[in-house]
Amino acid sequence: MDFNNPGIVTKSLAAKHPKILIIDDNLNFLFGISKMLLKADFDVATASDVMIGIKKAQTELPNLILLDVSMPSMTGFEVKTKLEINPITKSIPVIFLTGLDDRLHTLSGLSVAEDYITKPFDAEILVARIKVVLRRQDK
């Protein structure tokens, strides 16, 4: 499966559903979380490569980005910095979704993103936290 192809796991609906862009280099994780978010009535786009993810953020303008911290070519913190310096993407909220659960990474993540959630996670809690961030954006 090519998770950089927006047609593979993107759900297009006539009704307006928030679009979530997931950037993570683990294809199995992308597949699983995409299915879970689609069931929760989100529109989903994915990228397994950070540069493709940054381009998708610029072209698809998602309502929120779920971003892994540990990726081979660039860290999630570096991606977040690139998103912030671009006027097109600087206001898109980011939730770090990562396996790094140490105190330093958590504090660093919370200082630059809307939330920091560690894997493994409870799917219902993740959806609830996404909705909280989206509600804040609507205000």
Which tens digits make up the pLDDT trace of 55-79? 999 999 999 999 999 999 999 999 9
pLDDT tens for 7-27 read: 444 444 344 899 999 999 999
To which H or E segment does residue 15 belong? none
Cβ–Cβ under 8 Å, residues 33 and 66 = yes
36 part of a folded domain: yes
6 part of a folded domain: no
11 part of a folded domain: no
4 part of a folded domain: no
Average pLDDT value over all residues in the chain: 89
Q: Which residues span the domain enclosing 66?
A: 18-138
CATH, residue 50 = 3.40.50.2300
* Helix extents (H) in 1-139: 6-9, 27-39, 50-60, 76-85, 103-112, 123-138
7 part of a folded domain: no
Structural domains of the chain, count: 1
